[in-house]
Amino acid sequence: MTKFSQYRVFTAVVDTNGISSAGRLLNHSPSAVSKQLTALEERVNVQLVDRSNRRIKITDAGMKFYQQCKEILAKVADAEDDLLASEQSISGKLSFTMSKSLVRSSIFEAITNFSKQNTAIRYNIELSDEIKDLYNSDNDFAFRLGKVNDSTRLVAIPLGKVRLIFCATPQYLGQHGILKSFDELVNHHLMLLSPYNFSDVMRKFFKREKISLNQGTHHTTNDIEVVYQSVLSGQFIGLMLDISVKDELKNNVFVDVFPTQVLPSKELYLVFKKGALSSKKHKRFKTFIKQQFSA
C-alpha cells in the first residue's frame, strides 16, 4: 500500500477514534487497518497510536503527524481536482460548517446558485453551534457570526450585517395586538433559544430590556427550527435572524414585531485557513459567495 493510503488509514483512525470504525469508513477490515497502521509506524519509526488499553489513544507525536497528514492529503485532493477541472469547469468536494441559526438563511440560496453553475461539485455541510477549529477538521470554510479572533491563521471575508428581529405572523398580532415596546413582551407567548445559546451581547440585551425567561408564557428550545415552526404556527413570537426569514417577511408570512427598534446585530463572515485553499474550486467558491452577498 502507498504512503498516501497509509496516511488515509491513519487519519481515519484519528477521525473516528477507533480501528474498527476507521475500517467501516474506508470499507476495510479491522485487521487490514491495523496492519497498515503498524506498517506506517514501522516506516516512520514512531509510535503514533497507543493500543495498550481497550480504547486507543493518539500519542503527542501521532497528533502532530496527523495534522501534517491532513494537510498533505488535502493538497493531493486539490491537485487531483485541478487536473480534472478545465478552465471552465471545476469538480470535487467542498466542506463547510455553520451555525444552525443560518440554516434558513440566504447562504443556501447562494450555494444553490453556485451549484447551478458548477454541477460537478459535491458538498459536505456540518451544522454546529460550536465554533469549529478549522485546523482540526475537514472543513474548507466556515460561515460565522461575530468577530473572528484568530486572525493570525484565518482569513475572514465580511458578507454583511445580520440583525436579530422578533417575528410573529399577522394572525398572531391580529389576535393579540400590536406591540409598541419590549416590556410588552411579558404579556405574550414567546419561543426563544435557550439562554445557553445566547451570546454575551444577547444576555446584556435581555437584561437591559428586562425580558425575563421565567414568565409562564415564555418557552425555550435548543434548536432554531423549533422557534421557526412555533412562529409559523401563529401561536408564538420568536427571535430570529433577519437573514433567515427574509422571504417570509417579504411575503408577509412573518411580520417584524418591532420594525423601528434596534436589536443586536453581528457581521456574517466567510472564514477559511490562510494559504490553505488555492485550488480552482476554492477560489471560485470564495469569489462567488462574496459577489452574491455584495449584490
pLDDT in tens, 17-31: 889 888 888 888 989
- More confident position, 232 or 57: 232
Residue 238 pLDDT more than 90?
A: yes
- More confident position, 218 or 94: 94
- More confident position, 287 or 82: 287
For 192-201, letters b (16+ CB in 10 Å) and e give: bbeeebbeee
Q: Name the one residue in this structure whose C-alpha cell is 493510503.
A: 5
Residue 54 pLDDT more than 80?
A: no
Residue 130 pLDDT more than 90?
A: no
Same CATH topology for 87-160+267-294 and 162-265: the answer is yes
pLDDT band, very low/low/confident/very high, at 143 (cuts 50, 70, 90): very high
Q: If one looks up domain 3-82 in CATH, what number appears?
A: 1.10.10.10
Fold exhibited by the domain 162-265: D-Maltodextrin-Binding Protein; domain 2 (3.40.190)
Angle of CA points 23, 25, 27, to nearest 5°: 60
Helix or strand or coil: residue 58?
strand
Sort strands 190-193 and 218-221 into parallel, antiparallel or unpaired: parallel
What residues form DSSP beta bridges with 236?
none
Residue 132 pLDDT more than 80?
A: no
Residue 181 pLDDT more than 70?
A: yes
Closest by Cα among 202, 199, 117, 131 to 143: 131
Per-residue pLDDT, 70: 86
**Which sequence spans correspond to the domains of the chain?**
3-82, 87-160+267-294, 162-265
Question: DSSP state, 8?
Answer: H
| SS3 per residue for 62-116 | HHHHHHHHHHHHHHHHHHHHHHHCCCCCCCEEEEEEECHHHCCCCHHHHHHHHHH
Of 46-60, 109-123, 153-167, the one with minimum mean pLDDT is 46-60
Class of 87-160+267-294 in CATH: alpha beta
